Amino acid sequence: MPSTASKHLATFPNPQPRRDYRIHMEIPEFTCLCPKTGQPDFATLYLDYVPDRLCVELKSLKLYIWSYRNEGAFHEAVTNRMLDDLAAATKPRFMQLTAKFYVRGGIFTTVVAATRKKGWRAPAAVNLDALPAGSSTR
What residues act catalytically?
A: 34, 41
| Contacts (Cβ under 8 Å, ≥6 apart) of 14 | 51, 52, 53, 54, 55
As separate numbers, helices (DSSP H) first and strands (DSSP E) second, the chain gives: 2, 6
How far is CA 56 from each of CA 21, 103, 131, rounded to the nearest angstrom?
14, 29, 36
Of 52, 49, 50, the closest CA to residue 14 belongs to 52
